[in-house]
Structure 1
Amino acid sequence: MSRPHRSPAAHPLRTPRRPAHRTAHRTVRRSAALLAAGMLLPLGGCSTGDGAAPAAAQDIAVAARQELRSGGTARWAVDAAPQTYNVFQSDSSEATERIAGAVLPALFVLDERGRPRANPDYLRGAEITERTPKQVVVYRLNPKAKWSDGQPIAVEDFRAQWQALNGKDAAYWTARNAGYDKIESVSAGKEPGEVRVVFKQHYADWEALFTPLYPQSVTGSPEAFNTGSRTRLDVVAGPFTMVPDTGDGKTRKKDGDGQAARPQAPAGPVTLVRNAAWWGRPALLDSIVFTAVPREERAAALRAGKVDIAEVDRDLALEVRHALKEQKRAAAAKNAERGAADGKNNDDHPQSGQGRAGAPNQRVDEVQVGVGHMRAAEREAAAGDDKPADTEPGAAKPGGGRRADAKPGDDAESPAARLARAYTIHRALEPAYTQLALNGSDGPLADEQVRRGVARAIDRAVIARSVLAPLGLPEAPLGSHLLMGAQEGYSDHSAALGRQDIEAAQALIADSGWKQGPVGGPGAKDEADRRADDAKAPFVRTPLTTGPPISVSPGLGVQHGTLAEQAKLAKLAYEYGEDSEEYTRARKKARGRIDRLMRESSPLLQAAANPVQRPFVKDGKPLTLRFVVPEDAASGQLRQVAARIVRMLDNVGVRTEVVQTGSAGYFRDFIASGDYDLALYSWPGTAYPATDARPIYAKPVPSADGSLMVAQNYTRVGTDEIDRLMDKAAGELDDRVARDLLSRADARIWAAAGSVPLYQRPELVAVKKDLRNAGAFGFATPRYQDIGYRR
């Protein structure tokens, strides 16, 4: 299902999450909120070509329909209950899109590589029939396709949706009109069931239009579009239909856009059931229930068996990984014991590591997570902090393991082990990427040379490996702003910026008039500083040091400090007794010192507060950048990435002032308003980059009052050449020429150094073990009617 980009400000952050979310058509949009999470072989270096999709493009437990039984309910966790059932409104959400994908027509669906394919449930075909003097597209509808009220899907539905979304009628509360504004007319074709669409100018992304398709009863009037579709969908045309809700919906206050109060979809789970009027292959499930489960409650809901499908965070996935590893080790140990016993019983035929049936033992260093395998021994170093500590034989392992002698169902079995028995964690690279944003509107980063210097201080490979390797996902950094690694035409254009290089980074900054100052800042100089001045050295090269793996747990300094305080207290207790005044005073002071150590143990704040390189200085002021980072519980991974970046910048002499803020105001108060120098947030991948990525990288233009109109370009960095190439790609009907234009645009986006893609986000989805055709879909559009339970 395709859907418009809209202002991210209306969506709550997931870490954060709004320039990206997932739609069936994967114009992934959990918009300015993927902003911060705010997930291929290999990702970098070359085009993926036209062959099979890269290995990590998706991870689904696939099964043929005949292997699955009819019936059952799938409880699907979403971040929040939908506020509207209209995906073209600014406050639509993941739940809105999931529901629309199951109940409304999708004329084109995406495969695992993000390629649009005509959906035979609704189309017999669709093609460009004329290119000159104007582009004409003819849709040939499936004659069986009809709405649940018995009316056929027809040209009237296409025309009403075009008129609602083309931007000419301000009475419609639409989020975006891209594509629909390029249509000149919609009319019936020459043959019955044909729809003829004429474009005013060439439009390459025409396959994104009319998906989802709403009935004329929704798009035919502003009132129905604005309010009626927010609380119910009375007419549908998909394998599922909505259970009627008797609630009148809630009303919310005015939004920041000043529009009138809007009714809101009733809170609570949304239940979809089989559509009796569906003409295609019937849905296997009796029902799908979309249930709001906040991220912080997701693990508990899974452990309690309250949901069947749920996207999970990295920590939970690693817990399950460790649990599976322990189970594998236990199984290998039993096999080894059995083999040794067999060898003793039959000296003529020692088993040599094989079981009774002669099959080789499972390798201890392989761990199955989802449908793939990863070599744990190769991942251990990269995993760093997630490595389970050694424990005594038979003790429960941290991170999710269980006692080696525990049996399934044993009370000693850990929650993670029980979770691993009930669910499979499917892993893929989500069509969305996390970037380091450099705000070029003012301050030091308004200078392109400084931006390039800062960008070249970042070792993207180290960051990508730290995030992806522990999960067993391909760990190369993403090399494109416009295409994900699985997509046709993907190529790494990061060479336009240059690889990570400390000396080059320092030279770029020095060329902009910044000089390397003394270690302590712009104060008094020591002898080494004077010698450096005499030599007129523009910069000082130091080796890259990223420090030990970053962990959210207390560091060694905290542990040593705590032990020292405990030793002092033990001595006082021995000398004066635990009831003494001396011991009580010392205990109070020790508690305060330990609390201070804990507060200061944040790797991010420590990294910023303890520089090791001489800072760059201009006009007596050190080069300091304001780095805004979310501090909510769901953003732990981002803070680890931020700490690494702080250290990397310190290695070239760039200071950072870290500002940690709650997720509620992260996007609105800092990113959208431009109140930052550096920030981490995510953007979605899309099958239609010429259209969907255009507002993200468009050059800001001054408005009448002197302010900048930035669209979704929150870095405020853009050029006329980037705009020209993106516009040409959007109007190019030759796919190869369009991809070449996008490649050239991407190279220029890299060179402008407004944003630095770091890695494709991991997509981690827990699915009940007997549920099939669901998982980490990647770009692919889910076929809801084929999801079902094994016989």
Structure 2
Amino acid sequence: MFKPHRAVAYTAATLSAALVMAACGGPSGDGHDKAVSHAAPAVGAQGVNAQPASKVRQGGTLKLSTQTWITQYNEYQVDGTDGDASAILEQVEPVLMPKDAKGVPHPDPDYLRSARVTSTAPQVVTYELNPKAAWSDGKKMSYRDFAAVWHALDGHDDRYLVADSSGYDQIADVARGKDDQEVKVTFSTPYADWQRLFRVLLPAAAIDTPEKFNKGWIQRIPVTGAAWKIKSIDKTAQTVSTMPDPKWWGARPKLDSITWRALDLPADTEAYLNKEVDEAPAILPEDYKRLAKAPDTDIRRGARWDEVHISLSERGALGDVRVRQAVDLATDRKGIVAAFAHDLDFPVETLNSHFFMPNQAGYEDTAGKWGTFDLAGAKKLLDQAGWRDNGAGKPRTKGGRQLTLQYVISSGSASASVDQAQIVQQQLGMAGIKVVIQQVPQADFFVKFIDRGAFDLTSFRNVDEIFHSQLFSTFQQPKGAQAYLNYGRIGSPEIDKLMTQASRTTDTSKSNALYNEADKLIWAEGHSIELYQRPQILAVRKGLANFGASGLGDSDFVTMGWQK
């Protein structure tokens, strides 16, 4: 699926019952060590059938899917971080600095004439907007829009239910320059990842009050400002239809329309084979075999920032760090990864970092002992926490209650999410931790459970976190009712301090070192258990240009289309 943003429901390869059992005791030898036919893509690798605009025909429709019906389209709001919602938002709103194949952002001339650091003491970034750039309500894009985004996201007004205030909370002022189209952003402290801020510009008129910010984008996009606009949002048909905006001042999009249809993940393959959609995930071996044989189909691969992990919560027994650490030690990550990688034609290794992918500079093993399977160590920690061992196969008890954890999964996910939960259930059971798997409606998974911290254990993916500071809110210590994206509410002042220092350090190697130091504490706190970097393998209609496995880059909605 086309997912350019944060949290995405977890899916993986379907596992047999035999593999589930094998994974509980360590890596499965059945097929796991076989040679693979494709090496892992390098940084910058894409599979998009890149073509110049002159070789893309005018017209045609592109049919895409979403995992669920989208409720909140404001990606800056705490409920708006779903990847599909961001994909649609970024089709119809200004993406000021899209990323190239290597993940490097560059100003889009349709919106920005320039964006650069014009002072270092204090740090000032000056943006020059394209004077033609305008919103669908007729207003020119201006410094007022930047100021409204900053005001909503700087963390000073808790009525704005924001997903992430990092970076914006280091801005001292957003002011008008020589005219309304010049914006001067002054930072109170240096901020290395300034290019990630204001990535998607939203109109001031639609976010300048908490009410508009929180509720004005529910099942609607009130104002647009791109080459595309919303044609219809049809909840009954579960489709969002988009069309080129005739008021657009740049090059005309090649396609006549793009439609997004909500589909449960298991339905993607059938929908693709029935020509109801033009793209489908091909990572599951059983899907890959069918999709690769489909007529007029390309299998496209890319190197994406995409990780699968298990999140822990601080509620109940997990409020004791020793219990969280015991969960870490009792989880055999290599066994889970071996089960996932079975029958894949793509190498998959255990991921040992929360901030870096293995194909990124700065990656190192920060997991230490907390990423190592140690059943005896897990039992010792539970003993220390006062949970009595009642013998093999029986849950531990304390004060008359059992050590029981709820593992929340979406009912709409592929069977692999159930299989992974069952592996964890059996692994933790060996330590005396009872795991109850709770399936919840797909539409409720994030909004009512993950976003609200209503879980003990769960699993989903974080994607496209190219800038390490994007993960600040994921590990940031909550403030009162504001948890940001730290759904399990696990953090510490020391972690915040190191992440803050890293974000203010403009020397990349020193910044990377600080993030790695923070990560060692994140592992020790039992915040989450990293599993692996998820391969990006897609089935795409042959002849579809400038679209597919985009790796570290962004898709261009103007040039994508059908090849001549």
- Normalised by the size of structure 1, how large is the TM-score? 0.59
1:312 counterpart = 2:281:
yes
Q: Distance in 2 between matches of 1:172 and 1:670?
A: 20
Q: Distance in 1 between matches of 2:450 and 2:134?
A: 44
Residues 1:502 and 1:303: Cα distance change in structure 2 (over 3 Å): same
Displacement after TM superposition at 1:730 (Å): 2.8
In structure 1, the partner of 2:190 is 202
Q: Residue 726 of structure 1 is aligned with which of 483, 493, 499?
A: 499
Q: Residue 641 of structure 1 is aligned with which of 407, 413, 420?
A: 420
Displacement after TM superposition at 1:475 (Å): 0.8
1:64-115 per-residue CA deviation (whole Å, 9 max, x = no partner) reads 3333222211122223455455444455454542333223221112234544
Instruction: Look up the SS of the partner of 2:532 in the other structure.
Output: strand
1:159 counterpart = 2:32:
no
Instruction: Look up the SS of the partner of 1:658 in the other structure.
Output: strand
In structure 2, the partner of 1:741 is 514
1:489 counterpart = 2:362:
yes
Q: Distance in 1 between matches of 2:145 and 2:495?
A: 36
Checking the alignment, whether the CA contact within 8 Å between 1:60 and 1:776 is kept in structure 2 is yes
Q: Distance in 1 between matches of 2:155 and 2:525?
A: 32
1:678-720 per-residue CA deviation (whole Å, 9 max, x = no partner) reads 4434444513333x4233323456x5xxxx8654434443222
Residues 1:186 and 1:53: Cα distance change in structure 2 (over 3 Å): farther
1:59 counterpart = 2:37:
no
1:304-359 per-residue CA deviation (whole Å, 9 max, x = no partner) reads 212223x4375xx42343347xxxxxxxxxxxxxxxxxxxxxxxxxxxxxxxxxxx
In structure 1, the partner of 2:33 is none
1:686 counterpart = 2:559:
no
Q: Residue 293 of structure 1 is aligned with which of 263, 281, 288?
A: 263
Checking the alignment, whether the CA contact within 8 Å between 1:441 and 1:717 is kept in structure 2 is no
Matches within 5 A, 1:752-767: 752-767=525-540
Q: Residue 105 of structure 1 is aligned with which of 88, 94, 98?
A: 94
Amino acid at match of 2:305: P
Residues 1:790 and 1:436: Cα distance change in structure 2 (over 3 Å): same
In structure 2, the partner of 1:571 is none
Q: Distance in 1 between matches of 2:414 and 2:399?
A: 36
Checking the alignment, whether the CA contact within 8 Å between 1:53 and 1:113 is kept in structure 2 is no
Displacement after TM superposition at 1:170 (Å): 7.3
Displacement after TM superposition at 1:762 (Å): 4.3
Checking the alignment, whether the CA contact within 8 Å between 1:135 and 1:202 is kept in structure 2 is yes
Displacement after TM superposition at 1:722 (Å): 1.0
Q: Distance in 1 between matches of 2:198 and 2:306?
A: 23
Q: Distance in 1 between matches of 2:384 and 2:315?
A: 20
Instruction: Look up the SS of the partner of 1:643 in the other structure.
Output: helix
Displacement after TM superposition at 1:745 (Å): 0.4
Amino acid at match of 2:423: R
In structure 1, the partner of 2:308 is 434
Amino acid at match of 1:129: T
Instruction: Look up the SS of the partner of 1:118 in the other structure.
Output: coil
Matches within 5 A, 1:325-340: none
Matches within 5 A, 1:63-462: 63-83=51-71, 86-92=74-80, 93-132=82-121, 134-142=122-130, 145-147=133-135, 152-166=140-154, 177-190=165-178, 193-219=181-207, 236-243=224-231, 269-309=239-279, 311-312=280-281, 314=283, 317-323=284-290, 417=293, 420-428=294-302, 431-443=305-317, 445-462=318-335
In structure 1, the partner of 2:348 is 475
Q: Distance in 1 between matches of 2:475 and 2:285?
A: 35
Q: Distance in 2 between matches of 1:630 and 1:790?
A: 40
Displacement after TM superposition at 1:213 (Å): 1.6
Instruction: Look up the SS of the partner of 2:305 in the other structure.
Output: strand
Q: Distance in 2 between matches of 1:670 and 1:286?
A: 38
Checking the alignment, whether the CA contact within 8 Å between 2:99 and 2:553 is kept in structure 1 is yes
Amino acid at match of 1:239: A
Q: Distance in 2 between matches of 1:709 and 1:275?
A: 37
Residues 1:224 and 1:323: Cα distance change in structure 2 (over 3 Å): closer
Amino acid at match of 1:29: A
Instruction: Look up the SS of the partner of 2:337 in the other structure.
Output: helix
Aligned length: 536
Checking the alignment, whether the CA contact within 8 Å between 1:427 and 1:473 is kept in structure 2 is no
Q: Distance in 1 between matches of 2:448 and 2:91?
A: 35
Amino acid at match of 1:482: F
Displacement after TM superposition at 1:181 (Å): 4.1
Contiguous gaps of at least 5 residues in structure 2: 14-39
Matches within 5 A, 1:608-687: 611=393, 624-630=403-409, 632-651=411-430, 653-663=431-441, 677-687=456-466
Displacement after TM superposition at 1:137 (Å): 0.8
Residues 1:308 and 1:616: Cα distance change in structure 2 (over 3 Å): closer
In structure 2, the partner of 1:605 is none
Residues 1:490 and 1:737: Cα distance change in structure 2 (over 3 Å): same
Q: Distance in 2 between matches of 1:64 and 1:287?
A: 20
Checking the alignment, whether the CA contact within 8 Å between 1:81 and 1:267 is kept in structure 2 is no
Displacement after TM superposition at 1:516 (Å): 6.1
In structure 1, the partner of 2:24 is none
In structure 1, the partner of 2:35 is none
Matches within 5 A, 1:1-80: 22-23=3-4, 26=5, 28-30=6-8, 34=9, 36-37=10-11, 54=42, 58-80=46-68
1:737-774 per-residue CA deviation (whole Å, 9 max, x = no partner) reads 32221111011111222321112334443321121221
Overall identity of the aligned pairs, in %? 30
Q: Distance in 2 between matches of 1:720 and 1:239?
A: 44
Amino acid at match of 1:454: V
Residues 1:490 and 1:103: Cα distance change in structure 2 (over 3 Å): same
Q: Distance in 2 between matches of 1:619 and 1:266?
A: 49
Q: Distance in 2 between matches of 1:178 and 1:186?
A: 16
Q: Distance in 1 between matches of 2:451 and 2:218?
A: 26
Displacement after TM superposition at 1:624 (Å): 4.1
1:781 counterpart = 2:554:
yes
Which protein has greater RCO, CA pairs closer than 8 Å, 6+ apart?
Answer: 2
Q: Note the aligned Cα RMSD (angstroms).
A: 4.0
- Normalised by the size of structure 2, how large is the TM-score? 0.80
Instruction: Look up the SS of the partner of 1:60 in the other structure.
Output: coil
Checking the alignment, whether the CA contact within 8 Å between 2:78 and 2:484 is kept in structure 1 is no
Displacement after TM superposition at 1:201 (Å): 3.2
1:572-617 per-residue CA deviation (whole Å, 9 max, x = no partner) reads xxxxxxxxxxxxxxxxxxxxxxxxxxxxxxxxxxxxxxx4xxx686
Checking the alignment, whether the CA contact within 8 Å between 2:395 and 2:404 is kept in structure 1 is no
Q: Distance in 1 between matches of 2:451 and 2:140?
A: 44
Instruction: Look up the SS of the partner of 1:97 in the other structure.
Output: helix
Q: Distance in 2 between matches of 1:222 and 1:669?
A: 21
Contiguous gaps of at least 5 residues in structure 1: 1-13, 15-20, 40-51, 251-264, 325-368, 370-416, 520-610
Residues 1:650 and 1:290: Cα distance change in structure 2 (over 3 Å): closer
In structure 1, the partner of 2:20 is none
Checking the alignment, whether the CA contact within 8 Å between 2:70 and 2:85 is kept in structure 1 is yes
Residues 1:513 and 1:466: Cα distance change in structure 2 (over 3 Å): same
1:122-181 per-residue CA deviation (whole Å, 9 max, x = no partner) reads 23332222232x321111334554556776543343334434544667786765544444
Q: Distance in 2 between matches of 1:222 and 1:678?
A: 31
Checking the alignment, whether the CA contact within 8 Å between 1:189 and 1:196 is kept in structure 2 is yes
Checking the alignment, whether the CA contact within 8 Å between 1:79 and 1:94 is kept in structure 2 is no
1:635-685 per-residue CA deviation (whole Å, 9 max, x = no partner) reads 41122122223333355x434242333335656776666665544344445
In structure 1, the partner of 2:34 is none
Amino acid at match of 2:288: R
In structure 2, the partner of 1:790 is 563
